[in-house]
Structures are given as C-alpha cells and as structure tokens.
Amino acid sequence: LLLLLFSRRRREGEPPLIKGWIPFLGKALEFRNDSYKFLQQLQKCHGDVFTVLIAGKYMTFVMNPLLYPAVIKQGKQLDFHKFSDAAASTTFGFPAVNTGKFPGLSDKIQRSFLLLQGSALNTLTLKMIGNLQLVLQQDFLSSNAVGRKCDWRQEDLYEFCERVMFEATFLTLYGRPPQTKMDVHTQLHRESWIDALLDNFRKFDAIFPLLIAKIPIVLLGRIKSIREQLIRFFHPHRMAEWTNPSEFIQARTELLNQYDTLQDLDKSAHHFAILWASVGNTVPACFWCLYHLLSSPKAFSVVREEIMGMFGEKEPETMTMRQDRLTREQLEKLIYLESAINESLRLSSVSMNIRVVQEDFCLRLNSRCSVYVRKGDLVTLYPQSTHLDPEIYPDPQQYQFDRFVENGKMKTEFYKGNQKVHYYHMPFGSGATMCPGRFFALNELKLFFCITLLMCDMQLTAGQQHATMDKSRAGLGIMPPANHISFRYRVKKCLQRQ
C-alpha cells in the first residue's frame, strides 16, 4: 500500500502533485508546523490548485475563493459528510452513523440541528443570559470568593473565558445535574462537578488533533480513560436526572433512544461530541474577541458605547440584566460588536472545508479552469488564505474592529480585483456542512460581551507580550493562544462607589 501511495504519478489534466520524500507522511510535518505559510508557498510555485500528500491522503487544495462556489455546489461527486462522519466516530468513540446498522439516523441528526435556530434559538438565548449572569455572579463576583467584591482580581484571560463559557454553555444545553446525587456519586462538593468535567475536557481537547489525525487512542496514554470518563458523564441514567435541558438535547436523547442497536455508552458518546462542538471553538473565539477588544482602546470604547446605548448606563448598578430586556432583535442591532467578533474570527480561524471525491471526474472550477481528481482524494478549501488575502482585506494582519461595518450597516460586499467574493468569511464552514450552531455561537459571544462589559471593568495587565496563535491546530477551527495573557477585572459598581 505504501509503495502504491508513493508511486503515484501526476496524470494529464490533474493539478500539480507535491509528495515530499517521506513515504506516507508526505508533507504532513511542514503542513503541521505552519499550514498557512506552507500553502502560500505552494500557491506561489504551483498556482491556485494543487494536490499534496499529507499523512497518506492526497489533498487537492483550491486556494482562490473565486473558485470556491464550484466546489461548494458540487454535491454529487464531492461528498461532504463522509470525512466528518468517520472523523467524529473515531474521535468521540461512537459507531459510524452512516452504516446499515442505524437506518435514517444521519438524517435525523441533521434535522435535530434545526433546534439550534428559529424559535428554539430564542429560548436558548434567554437561558444563556441567565446562565452567564449566574456563573459570573456565583463564581467570580460573590463575596465568598477570594478577596472583596470590589478588589481588582488578576487572572489568565483564556481561563476566564473558558470557565465562564464552558459552564454557561453546558447549563444552557444540557441543564443542571442534581447537586446531592452528584455529591454522593462523585464524592465531590458543590460546584466541583463542573471543574472536574472541564479538567477532563481540557486534557481531551489537547490531544484532539491527534485523534482527528487517526492516531489510535491506545497509543495516547491516559487519554483513553479520560475519554471514557467524559463519555460516562453523559450516561442516559444520569442525564435523565438533569433539570431543564434544552429542546435540542431532549430531541437528540429521544432520537438516539429509537435505536436499539446503540448501546447506552454510544448514546453518551454522541452527547459528549456535542459538548465538544459547542465549546471547542467558542472558548478560543471568546478569548480572541476579548483580547482584541482589550488591546484596542478605540474598539473597546465604541463597542462599550454601543452596548450601553442599547441597555442603558443604569444596568451595572443592579448587576443583573432582566432576561426580557435583551432580545434577539436587540442583539442583531449591535453591529460594531458583531463586526468586532467577525474580525477576531477572521484572524483566528483555520478551519478547512473537506470533500471526499466519489469517482474519478473532471472538476470544472470556472470557464478557464478544470482539473481531474481521483476517487478517494480530498478536495479542500482553506479559508485562512481568503481571510488573510490583502486584495480582499487590506492590511489583513491588522485588527480593525469596524471592518465589517459600512454606512451604519453590516458590510457584506467584499471584492478580489473587481470580482465580488461570495465566500469571504468562513469561520463556520460553507454550504451543506456549515456549522449548525453558528447562530447560537454568535449570540453566545454577543451575550458574553454585553454581560461582562455591563458588569465588570476589565484591563490587560501592563507590560506583557502580545498573544500569539498556536498554529499546530491547523484545520481544526479557531486557534487557541500559544502564550498566557493575564488581565484584571472588578465589579463595575465599585467604580461608582469610590
């Protein structure tokens, strides 16, 4: 097989082929070190479309966003679920969904995603407001915590975003495990169940890129047992006792129960996968948005003014925001905040859109460009090259919080040369595989900023280095920071008392 893989030669009409000299691995190491730089160099030498051998897979990269529509709309010969289904089942430990064993399950799962939109999104948004306030008040602002309520507290910025978003998202989607039973079961005292869950989640997430790359879990030390603990956390018997789960999670529980061929722990693994999907990218996204805002006084003041203008200066006095005071329509009107979030996502997203070629065929990209691709190869879009394209976004490495605002509205027209770019902002993927949680994610981020900016005063700690991105997670969503960033915060009403 190795010989077969390595002996592949480029056929006429196929894109340039780059195999490297290491059998099987091909160019995997260069790709992993800094995928953006690596692909930029290849684009310079070989043009907008080329095929690279990466860890046993031939990946045809389409680098020009003006060619994306042909790939995204080509549903028949480019399958969009095969790759992610296979990756999800090995990573999270449930049996592959698209087999004869579970007829109709894949479609039902897709339909369940509708419960992250429309009127169900309103309910999720309201719950999220309450939970964000609860988490902030209980864990960070209570007088029982270390120090007095009005003192400045110093903390790692990523850990702050992680703790708040992880707990608030968990409570919003899954509901609350009963305290007494949890205490008896896990020997943990009151709030510790969420800390223990987060601790395991962190360890699992650190190894996530290796699992996605199909490194067998048995080779990854303690991760197998950590994943088992995470899966067991979602055992149906336990979940049955959690109060106030979202419609989305209830519907998924019901649909998984329709399949006798699924064991209890398979169902748990599906729930665990959703936990990862719902926080794995939202936490680093939250970090970058907050970091960029705190680093840019102009952005901070415009966004803060916009939020204050919407909800009023008096709000921090009461330290709570009544849920009926914050509607989805109001969130939609916060265009500077939305632009600031979009800008941070543009700079930090490294997701890839992958399609599996179903048969040898000629992929017509536009009237001047067609390439032959082979069955089993992966056709890949790499949106980071669009996000950092100076023709589309002048000074692409610069953070410009209002880049997505034009004439008082969200800017939706971007050009490359004189051609309009349809897919100019793709942190949530594209077409049929686009993230079903994107509306909820955007609302969660907006709520996080509304509530923290209303409740807290925040500053980056002076004299530290800029945050840099951990580039080793290429292809997997939002990059986490590579270094620690510390900040300080205090309850806002203390300002007024002093």
Binding site residues, ligand HEM, CB under 6 A: 84, 116, 274, 277-278, 281-282, 285, 351, 353, 427-429, 433-437, 440-441, 477-478
Cβ nearer to ligand HEM, comparing 15 with 431:
431
Task: Tell me how far apart the alpha carbons of residues 191 and 200 are, in angstroms, rounded to a whole number.
Answer: 15
Cβ nearer to ligand HEM, comparing 303 with 478:
478
CA distances from 315 to 302, 307, 310, 444 (A): 18, 11, 11, 19
Cβ nearer to ligand HEM, comparing 120 with 310:
120
> CA-based diameter of the chain, in Å?
76
Residue nearest to ligand HEM (CB): 437
Q: Which helix (H) or strand (E) holds 490?
A: strand 486-491
Tokens of 192: 């510790």
Cβ nearer to ligand HEM, comparing 136 with 285:
285
Cβ nearer to ligand HEM, comparing 429 with 481:
429
> Residues 10, 16, 21, 25: is their CA dihedral positive or negative?
negative
In the complex, minimum distance from the CB of residue 181 to ligand HEM, in angstroms, rounded to a whole number: 26
In the complex, minimum distance from the CB of residue 78 to ligand HEM, in angstroms, rounded to a whole number: 12
Task: Tell me how far apart the alpha carbons of residues 136 and 160 are, in angstroms, rounded to a whole number.
Answer: 10
Cβ nearer to ligand HEM, comparing 277 with 310:
277
Q: CB neighbours (10 Å) of residue 235?
A: 14
Say which amino acid occupies 371.
V
Cβ nearer to ligand HEM, comparing 227 with 425:
425
In the complex, minimum distance from the CB of residue 160 to ligand HEM, in angstroms, rounded to a whole number: 17
Q: Tokens 């209570």 appear where?
A: 142
In the complex, minimum distance from the CB of residue 15 to ligand HEM, in angstroms, rounded to a whole number: 21
- Radius of gyration of the chain from Cα atoms? 23
In the complex, minimum distance from the CB of residue 80 to ligand HEM, in angstroms, rounded to a whole number: 7
In the complex, minimum distance from the CB of residue 110 to ligand HEM, in angstroms, rounded to a whole number: 6
Which residues, in sequence order, are bridge partners of residue 176?
A: 243
| Start-end of H helices in 350-483 | 384-387, 438-455
Task: Tell me how far apart the alpha carbons of residues 138 and 134 are, in angstroms, rounded to a whole number.
Answer: 6
In the complex, minimum distance from the CB of residue 180 to ligand HEM, in angstroms, rounded to a whole number: 29
Q: Tokens 């719950």 appear where?
A: 127
Cβ nearer to ligand HEM, comparing 116 with 223:
116
Q: In sequence order, what are the residues at sequence separation of 6 or more whose Cβ sits closer than 8 angstroms to the Cβ of residue 236? A: 253, 257, 264, 267, 268
Count the helices and strands in the chain (H runs, E runs): 22, 15
Q: Tokens 């790499």 appear where?
A: 382
Cβ nearer to ligand HEM, comparing 64 with 89:
89
| Start-end of H helices in 241-380 | 247-257, 264-279, 282-295, 297-311, 315-318, 328-333, 335-348
In the complex, minimum distance from the CB of residue 216 to ligand HEM, in angstroms, rounded to a whole number: 23
In the complex, minimum distance from the CB of residue 208 to ligand HEM, in angstroms, rounded to a whole number: 13
